[in-house]
């Protein structure tokens, strides 16, 4: 049996290996530190650890600071404000803390402003938008879009985006409005079969990493009539090219509505977009109306896709109640609730995570909850499924099979936020419904910083 000294050295070695590999999730498990938990987006754990530290030492300023950071990340800005005020009071000469306090005060005021103006019958951002009268200048050097999407227009769009160019705003509006109508009419849980002469590729989070998505397409092929694609949410925020990815996915959805699928993720929501960069990017590259139109289209996106009655694909995970079935998802009227809120079926579909322990537990994120292998097994058995496929979390190899293979995570943003040395992955599914996992590495991209509102000190993008 190893001595205490040997165990301590092994513990230290594991931590050093995890740090060297930028494997923040493993580092969090090894060290259980607030900083590692924040890096791995385990904000709930970070808050719990910081709270324990504060209970042991009420003057431990770093614990207040890290708890404030974690609260900000999960949009609990009032709690964050309280802790930042404590940091400034206990460390009045800390200039960085004062800056963070000022940032947090702005966020709180902004959140309160949007809450104050939210009304149920707010007019659409499309109201008064006359596309027919909008003129595309003769000196616009891109392909022209008429009444329908074309492969030629998408090819030209890709080249424009690679070269740092934008679309004309008329085309941006056209694409968003066309896709909003298409996805609004789809079921909350889209049900599809893979034809004998086709295959489906399931992709996880891409988070604005446009050049890595281009690498995925280079390796695996672009969408065609026989090559279906399903993007499982979180295609915006954090990366520097969220508008490019959103417009590209929407263009493909318009071109091939019956063979290109998009699920909503927890980042296709207003509160996340205001904090993690997409709103700012829309306004900087286009205008405020573009963000509002995207927001309306995000709330129209399906929440899940049932593939061949064998795999339920949804962004987050399973539910706090074992009685929930596929029929409950079918019956969910997502159009009555634009944003997921803090509880309920929609929130759980977008936010929950698997855990290794049986049963259910508190969320490491501080939002939603976690579900164990027994929960997954019961859900699959009750609904006749082989497995659930979800995204929502970095995996160092790009994917992971958990819960005896019944819970599969796929994540398609390699070298996530340029700070985690993970691979990206995608899953190919043929007409036999066998799963083929493919990994890929990040590729170089222009050095353009994302327009994120969260401080880069505690989140690298």
* Distant-in-sequence contacts of 35-38, Cβ < 8 A, 24+ apart: 35/66, 37/70, 37/364, 38/66, 38/69, 38/70, 38/73, 38/458, 38/459
* Pairwise CA distance, residues 280 & 416, whole Å: 20
Q: Is 146 helix (H, G, I), strand (E, B) or coil?
A: coil
| The predicted structure's pLDDT at residue 195 | 98
- Give the mean pLDDT of 192-208: 98
Q: Is 285 helix (H, G, I), strand (E, B) or coil?
A: helix
Residue 155 has φ and ψ, to the nearest 5°, of -60, -45
Pick the range with the lowest mean pLDDT from 234-238, 299-303, 445-449.
445-449
* Pairwise CA distance, residues 229 & 360, whole Å: 32
| The predicted structure's pLDDT at residue 4 | 47
* Pairwise CA distance, residues 278 & 243, whole Å: 7
Mind listing the pLDDT tens digit for each residue in 9-48?
444 455 455 455 554 455 444 444 555 666 667 888 899 9
Burial of 74 (0-12, 13-18, 19+ CB in 10 A): buried
* Pairwise CA distance, residues 72 & 244, whole Å: 27
| The predicted structure's pLDDT at residue 17 | 57
Binning pLDDT at 50, 70 and 90, where does residue 382 land?
very high
Q: Is the pLDDT of residue 459 over 50?
A: no
Mind listing the pLDDT tens digit for each residue in 93-124?
998 888 889 988 888 887 777 666 565 567 89
Question: Model-level pTM?
Answer: 0.85
| The predicted structure's pLDDT at residue 8 | 43
Which structural domains are found in the chain, ordered by start? 32-117 (1.25.40.10), 133-440 (3.60.21.10)
- Please give the share of the chain, as a percent, with pLDDT higher than 90: 74
**Nearest C-alpha neighbor of 178 from the set 143, 136, 210, 150:** 150
Mean pLDDT of all residues belonging to the chain: 89
* Pairwise CA distance, residues 393 & 37, whole Å: 13
| The predicted structure's pLDDT at residue 120 | 56
Give the tokens for residue 78. 């009032």
* Pairwise CA distance, residues 320 & 363, whole Å: 11
- Give the mean pLDDT of 204-220: 98
Positions marked active-site? 267
Binning pLDDT at 50, 70 and 90, where does residue 458 land?
very low
Sequence-ordered list of residues with C-beta below 8 angstroms from that of 289, at least 6 positions apart, any chain: 125, 129, 173
Which strand ranges, in their side-by-side order, compose the sheet holding 387-390?
Answer: 189-192, 304-307, 311-314, 387-390, 407-410, 399-402
Q: Is the pLDDT of residue 326 over 80?
A: yes
Pick the range with the lowest mean pLDDT from 27-36, 75-84, 151-160.
27-36
* Pairwise CA distance, residues 408 & 36, whole Å: 24
**Helix intervals (H) in 301-372:** 326-331, 345-351
Burial of 110 (0-12, 13-18, 19+ CB in 10 A): middle
* Pairwise CA distance, residues 460 & 450, whole Å: 10
Q: Is the pLDDT of residue 359 over 50?
A: yes
| The predicted structure's pLDDT at residue 73 | 82
DSSP state of 81: H
**Nearest C-alpha neighbor of 42 from the set 12, 73, 83:** 73
Mind listing the pLDDT tens digit for each residue in 229-286?
999 999 999 999 999 999 999 999 999 999 999 999 999 999 999 989 999 999 999 9
Contact 37, 22 (CB under 8 A): no
């Amino acid at each position: 049996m190893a001595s205490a000294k040997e165990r301590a050295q092994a513990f230290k070695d594991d931590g050093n290996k995890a740090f060297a590999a930028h494997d923040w999730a493993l580092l969090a498990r090894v060290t259980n530190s607030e900083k590692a938990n924040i890096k791995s987006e385990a904000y709930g754990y970070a808050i719990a650890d910081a709270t324990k530290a504060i209970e042991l030492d009420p003057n431990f300023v770093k614990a207040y600071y890290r708890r404030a950071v974690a609260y900000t990340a999960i949009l609990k800005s009032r709690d964050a404000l309280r802790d930042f005020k404590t940091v400034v009071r206990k460390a009045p000469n800390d200039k960085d803390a004062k800056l963070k306090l000022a940032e947090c005060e702005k966020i709180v005021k902004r959140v309160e402003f949007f809450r104050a103006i939210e009304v149920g019958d707010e007019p659409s951002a499309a109201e008064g938008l006359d596309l027919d009268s909008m003129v595309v200048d003769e000196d616009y050097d891109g392909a022209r879009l008429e009444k329908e999407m074309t492969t030629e227009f998408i090819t030209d769009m890709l080249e424009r985006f690679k070269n740092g160019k934008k679309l004309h705003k008329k085309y941006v509006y056209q694409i968003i409005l066309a896709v909003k109508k298409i996805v609004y009419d789809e079921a909350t849980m889209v049900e599809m079969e893979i034809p004998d002469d086709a295959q489906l590729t399931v992709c996880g989070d891409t988070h604005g990493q446009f050049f890595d998505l281009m690498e995925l397409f280079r390796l695996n092929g672009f969408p065609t009539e026989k090559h279906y694609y399903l993007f499982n949410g979180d295609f915006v925020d954090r990366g520097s090219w969220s508008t490019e990815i959103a417009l590209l996915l929407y263009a493909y959805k318009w071109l091939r509505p019956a063979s290109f699928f998009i699920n909503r993720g927890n980042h296709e929501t207003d509160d996340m977009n205001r904090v993690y960069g997409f709103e700012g990017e829309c306004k900087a590259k286009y205008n405020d109306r573009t963000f509002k139109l995207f927001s309306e289209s995000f709330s129209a996106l399906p929440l899940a896709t049932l593939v061949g009655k064998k795999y339920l694909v949804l962004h987050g995970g399973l539910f706090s109640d074992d009685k929930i079935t596929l029929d409950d998802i079918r019956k969910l009227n997502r159009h009555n609730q634009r944003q997921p809120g803090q509880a309920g079926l929609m929130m759980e579909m977008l936010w929950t995570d698997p855990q290794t322990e049986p049963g259910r537990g508190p969320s490491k994120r501080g939002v939603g909850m976690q579900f164990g292998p027994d929960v997954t097994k019961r859900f699959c058995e009750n609904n006749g499924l082989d497995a659930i496929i979800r995204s929502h979390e970095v995996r160092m190899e790009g994917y992971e099979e958990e819960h005896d293979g019944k819970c599969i995570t796929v994540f398609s943003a390699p070298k996530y936020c340029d700070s985690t040395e993970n691979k990206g992955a995608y899953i190919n599914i043929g007409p036999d419904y066998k799963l083929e996992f493919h990994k890929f590495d990040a590729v170089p991209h222009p050095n353009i910083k994302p327009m994120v509102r969260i401080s880069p000190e505690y989140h690298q993008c």
